[in-house]
Amino acid sequence: MRKRELEDLAISFIVLLLIFSDFRPRLMLFVAPALFTAFVLHELAHRQVARHYGYVAYYKRWDFGIAVALVLGMLSKLLTGSSWVFAAVGAVYIYAPYQYWQDRRSEGMIALAGPLTNILVAITAIAILKVVSMNPYAWLLLSYMAHVNAWLAFFNLLPFPPLDGFKVFKWNPGYWAVLEGLSFMLYHV
């Protein structure tokens, strides 16, 4: 991982951590692992699938998106008492130096990789919560993990550019519908 890519991931992660923890330091302990699985694994999944298809791929933060996320989070906290999360803070950029055509299937699979990772983590966390007896701190940690992953999957699957859902919908509306519906359901479990 390049130094710039690591820095961009870290900045994006910290901004999302502030917002997802509702700007409450005590919650950061529980939100950080959830956000790691939801945000970092999501972006790494995009990157790895892109590389599998032969693309050059790296994460890059989106400074305007970071500013919008932070301002919306702070304003909503001030006005309503809780933070509204705008999670478009960066993306994995892909390109194929020797490919001069668009490969809709590989682009769809790359876009699908992030939200699918979130859905799998959310399902795993929910299953553990339902089956295993644990102390309240572990329960809270897994609860956040399920909630944050389901929400990020749902948000990223919205069918609007530049979100993943737009690319998945263009490639395969059936896959998009199943996964968007599943992520919505998981968010409300």
Number of domains in the chain: 1
pLDDT of residue 103 exceeding 90, the answer is no
> Considering the entire predicted model, what is its pTM?
0.93
The domain in which residue 69 lies consists of 3-187
Specify burial of residue 161 (Cβ count, 10 A radius: 0-12, 13-18, 19+): exposed
43 included as an active-site residue: yes
pLDDT of residue 154 exceeding 80, the answer is yes
Residue 47 tokens read as 């990157």
157-183: pLDDT as tens digits: 999 998 999 999 999 999 999 999 999
Catalytic-labelled residue, pool 5, 43, 107, 180: 43
